Every structure is written in C-alpha cells, then in structure tokens.
Copies of this chain bind each other. A is one copy, B any other.
Amino acid sequence: MAPRKLQIAAAGLGRMGHRHALNFLNRTPRAELVAAFTPDPKEIAWGREHLEPFGVTLYTNYDEMISRPGLDAVVIGTATSVHAEEAIQAMQKNLHVLCEKPLSTSIEVCRQVVDEAKKRPHLKVMCGFSRRFDDSYRDAYSKVEKGLIGRPTILRSQTCDKHDPSGFFVEYAAWSGGVFVDMSVHDIDLTLMFFGETIKPKSISAHGCIAVQPGLAQHKDVDNAVGIVEFWGGQIAYYYCSRMMAHGQEDVTEVIGTEGKLSVNLNPQSSLVNYYSGAGITREVPAHYYGRFEMAFVQEANEFAAACLDNTELPMRLDNAVRAVEIGSWLQEALVTGKQIHFDESGKRSEKASL
C-alpha cells in the first residue's frame, strides 16, 4: 500500500494562493491537494480550469472546506487581513496550517495565532518565510554554522521590487502595514536566522522617501526606506526596501562576520545567459520575487508536508514570524515618527539610549 499522503486544502487562489495550490497539486509528492476555497468568482473560474479536473473540490465557504472529513492541513494564501482568523479556525478543526506571511500586520493578532498554536502542540503551524527554504540562503547558513565567517556581526539585507507604475502599490499600502512590515519582514526574518532567534533590539532608526509613487503619502507610506536595528550583544542589521527598481527584483543579503563575509544574490540573474552587444555585456534579472524564489516555495511545501506526516519539527518557529512583524512595525514607527526607538536589555521600550 502506498504511504498516506497529506490531505491538504488551499485557502485563497489569488496572486500567492494559486501558486501554493499548484505547488501542493503538482510538486509535493507526499501531499494531495483535495480542496480549495475562494470567495472570488474570478478565482473560482481559474480553479475550475486548473484544479477541478485534477480532483480538487472547490469551495466558496471557508468553514465548509475546513470541515471536510479526512482533511489534514490547510495552506492559507488569502488576503493578509483574514490570515489569522482562518489559521485559528483551521487549528480549531484540528488542521495543520501553513500560512502565507504575515500572520497579521497587527502584533496582537499575530500573538493570538501563536497562543492558539501553543494550545495544540500536536499541530504543525508555520508562517512561511520563503527565503528560509531557498538553497542559497541555506548554503550561506551552513557556512555560518561551520564557523567560516567567525561571529556574524553585521547583516545587510534588501528587498527591492521592480517599479510597478499601475498604482497597485498605492492601494495596497492602505492595509499592507507599511514597507518595513510588508517587504523588510523577510530581511528581518533572515536576521533572526543568522543572528539567532533570541536576539533583542537595542535601538531602531529608519528613514524613507517617496520618489515614484506620490499617492503613498495618504497612507503614510514610502517607496524607498532604509532602517537600522542595533541589537543587544553588539550586532547590527540594516535594511533597504524599495519599489522603484527599473531592472527587476533585487533581493540581496550580506552577512559580515568577524572572520569573513557571505553574500547572497549580490549579482541577480534570471538565467545563466549573458548578452554581448554594442551596449556592453548584459544579464537579465527576474521581474518578480517568484522568479527568484519559486523553488523555495516548492521546498517549503515539501518540508511542511513531511513535518506533518512524520510529526517532525518544522524548520522555523511560529513565534519568529511574530518577532519579525514586531521589528518591522517598530521600523515603520521610527520611519513615520522620525524618532529613534530604544529598548532596555529586558526588551522594554525606554525613552533614552543605552550607551
């Protein structure tokens, strides 16, 4: 008899949701996508064409879907505003949960998800930070583990999107939580990965500007921002996020240690081709983050399935996802208020800098 496959349902078939659905349908051998939910008629239409013929039942009611007998898990790729609620409902139905990041742009709501998960330790609940599943970041991490760069001390990381002149990001800013929460949260998560999950911020600064999307001003957001987080213990991370790149997606990380340095994706490329012309030698760049991280999402799906089926530890802790959003929110606060934020060694906000 063939080994049991994880019976999984997908919530949301939009930008990110439909990718999760397809990955569980086609590229996760140990899982079987049995159901998908979306309230959106366009997405349902897509599901009729791409999922239903392969045995996936479509639902327009989330609760109905997660009540389906035999279901083991749900992957949540709906709008951020419903992530937390759907995750909690799924746990209450005894389902494992893989939730797109972030759990919520509200720390409090994030914490509710974590609390719910703590009550059900037998469930696997993961908030997917795709870079953790990327071969190159893992290669870098294993080199740090081997001690190749000494003690990691400075981390520079940027998430830079291709400029989208459609106005999409202006609307999106109304509820995205701001650029540090929406974009840099990945870089912050990498900081927790490379500096260690117990690290505590000591002070935070941030500055931003609006260069190409004037409409962002109404949402107190920016299209370019730089922030610094100094940690107790003498480590510093600094971030750049931007939605202004002419050339494509450019997500770069450098980890600088006392005895060496690692860079990840310092020279982005969409293929191994260089084109030589009168203009010089040109290398193309992925247009979007999925072009850079597609295989990381596939890896994520497979590792989640394995952890659920084998009851093994997940590759990342749920409360990290909260930590990352929390630090992102502080950066956003520092950006908006124009004030540096300080923390004492216990982690409490303090008015004064600790020197």
Contact = CB atoms under 8 A, between A and B. Distances in A.
Interface of A: 2-3, 25-27, 29, 53-55, 135-136, 139-140, 143, 148-149, 151, 153-154, 156, 203, 205-212, 224, 226, 228, 230, 234-236, 238, 240, 242, 244-248, 250, 256, 258-285, 336-340, 342, 352-355
A262 B274 contact: yes
21 contacts: A25-B29, A27-B27, A27-B29, A29-B54, A136-B272, A149-B246, A156-B240, A203-B207, A209-B230, A226-B236, A238-B240, A245-B261, A250-B276, A260-B276, A260-B277, A266-B274, A267-B281, A280-B283, A281-B282, A281-B283, A337-B355
Q: Is the interface of A mostly helix, strand, loop or mixed?
A: mixed
A136 B277 CA distance: 18
A211 B2 contact: no
Contacts of A340: 205, 338-340
Contacts of A248: 280
Contacts of A135: 271
B339 A258 contact: no
Number of identical protomers: 4
Contacts of A143: 273, 275
Given A209-B235, A228-B228, 11 more contacts: A143-B275, A149-B246, A154-B226, A210-B234, A246-B276, A247-B260, A247-B276, A260-B277, A260-B278, A264-B273, A282-B282
A342 B205 CA distance: 13
A246 B277 contact: yes
A338 B245 CA distance: 32
A261 B246 contact: yes
A274 B263 contact: yes
Given A207-B236, A211-B234, A342-B338, A261 B278 contact: no
Given A2-B55, A209-B230, A242 B154 contact: yes
